[in-house]
Amino acid sequence: MRPILFIVVPCYNEEEVLPESSRLFFDKLVALIDRNEIAPESRVLFVDDGSKDSTWKIIQSLSREDKHFQGVSLSRNRGHQNALLAGLLEAKDKCDITISIDCDGQDDIDAIDEMVARYKEGNDVVYGVRSDRSSDSFFKRFTAESYYHLLRFLGADIVFNHADYRLLSDRVLYELDSFKEVNLYLRGIVPLIGFSSTSVYYSRKERIAGETHYPLARMLALAMNGITSLSAEPLRLISKIGVFIAIISFIGVIWSIVEQFTGNTVAGWASMTCIICFVAGVQLLSIGILGEYIGKIYLEVKGRPRFIIKERTKRYEEQAK
């Protein structure tokens, strides 16, 4: 069995990295083809996520030089998740399996061999899992790991220490196509699709060049998206806090009536202020959480396209499975 593999690579302003990492992808693809592990029609598919530098030019010239390189360009920057989705949906009719990988060389390319082997053993999904995060700062490691725990706690089924380096079979890609949500968090959706899955382990490296596109603010936004797209638990949490505060309030009412009749009602400015501040804080936080979900409903209801493809590399159009 020689599946057609598409390596799907989202790229945003990666002109410094691309010349080097494209070599890595190419060598890996050709080595697998030579060993008869995958079909000769296998490709590296770059998705240019509306880059402002020469990324798309580099992709175009790569594809002119060698037919193994293909690319699509989005009409504007839509973020990693949408760019990845664009690539996966583009690839789904042309291949048997996709492997999504970042273009900065952080994900160990050699894990691809094992992913393909696991696929041949009958797995439709193979997760790339980081066996150690020593290349990340302590802060990133700590926040990332706490976040996985939080998502688990909120009831989302996600794979610990797995980012977006994974193999998907065409069956899974077809099902993925029917998840129409705009608030997209692939890490959470893939486990929901189901089918048999397994993990391979790799150690995450430093970026080859350039800088991360996920500074703290964007990471927090992605994290928030993840929670709101996978779990309604925060809404339930509000009700639970409400019940808790209602019980306390009931006790407080009885207490204040007793105080009233025993004539001790003048003191109590501090306790009053504390109660008002506390309840106001909880209320604002609750409204904020509600608002977060309503905002997401608003975006979903509009059902705008998640990405728009502006251009494809020349030879790309010709190929079909």
Query: Considering only CA atoms, which of 3, 203, 1 is closest in space to residue 110?
Result: 203
Backbone angles phi, psi at 82, to 5 degrees: -70, -40
Find the helix or strand (DSSP H, E) in which 213 lies: none
SS3 assignment for 88-131? HHHHCCCCCEEEECCCCCCCCCCHHHHHHHHHHCCCCEEEEEEE
Mask for 6-35, x = binds ligand UDP (CB under 6 A):
----xxx-x---------------------
Q: How far is the CB of 104 from Mg ion (least distance, A)?
A: 4
Q: Tell whether residue 106 is a contact of Mg ion (CB under 5 A).
A: yes
Q: Does 49 bind ligand UDP (CB under 6 A)?
A: yes
DSSP result, 54-79 = SHHHHHHHHHHH-TTEEEEEESS---
Closest distance to Mg ion from the beta carbon of 213 (Å): 8
**One residue of 41, 48, 104, 107 binding Mg ion per CB under 5 A:** 104
State the number of binding residues for ligand UDP (CB under 6 A).
16
CA distance linking residue 238 with residue 150, whole number of Å: 16
Q: What is the distance between the alpha carbons of residues 36 and 201, in angstroms, rounded to a whole number?
A: 24
Residue 164 CB, shortest distance to Mg ion, in Å, is 10
- What ranges make up the beta strands (E) of the chain? 5-11, 43-48, 69-74, 97-100, 125-132, 162-169, 197-203, 309-312
Is 59 one of the binding residues for ligand UDP (CB under 6 A)?
no
Residues with Cβ within 8 Å of residue 36, at least 6 apart in sequence: 2
Tell which residue, 193, 148, 141, 143, has the closest CA to residue 166. Answer: 193
Interface with ligand UDP (CB under 6 A), residue from 83, 116, 126, 227: 83
Least CB distance from residue 214 to Mg ion, whole Å?
8
The nearest distance, CB 290 to ligand UDP, in angstroms, is 28
Q: At what angle do helices 216-230 and 269-302 cross, to 10 degrees?
A: 80
14 counts as binding Mg ion under rule CB under 5 A: no
Part of the chain binding Mg ion (CB under 5 A), chosen from 95-103, 111-119, 191-199, 289-297: 95-103
From 77, 135, 198, 283, residue interacting with ligand UDP (rule: CB under 6 A): 77
* Residue of the chain from 67, 213, 296, 312 that contacts ligand UDP (CB under 6 A): 213
CB of 54 to ligand UDP, least distance (A): 14
Q: How far is the CB of 236 from ligand UDP (least distance, A)?
A: 30
Q: Measured from the CB of residue 186, what is the shortest distance to ligand UDP in angstroms?
A: 12
Where does this chain touch ligand UDP (CB under 6 A) — which range of 79-87, 88-96, 176-184, 190-198? Answer: 79-87
Entry field: residues in the chain = 321
Tokens 């019980």 -> residue: 247
Question: Which residue from 72, 103, 109, 230 is in contact with ligand UDP, where contact means CB under 6 A?
Answer: 103
According to CB under 6 A, which one of 28, 43, 68, 80 is a site residue for ligand UDP? 80
- The count of C-alpha atoms lying within 13 angstroms of the C-alpha of 146, restricted to the half-sphere facing its C-beta, is 7
- Residue 60 interacting entry, from ligand UDP, Mg ion, none, C-beta within 5 to 8 Å by type: none
Site membership for ligand UDP, residue 184 (CB under 6 A) = no
What distance lies between CA 310 and its chain's CA centroid? 23
Query: Of 48 and 96, which CB lies nearer to ligand UDP in the complex structure?
Result: 48
| Residue 102 is a binding residue for ligand UDP (CB under 6 A) | yes
C-alpha distances (whole Å) from 59 to each of 78, 91, 202, 255, 315 are 18, 16, 27, 72, 12
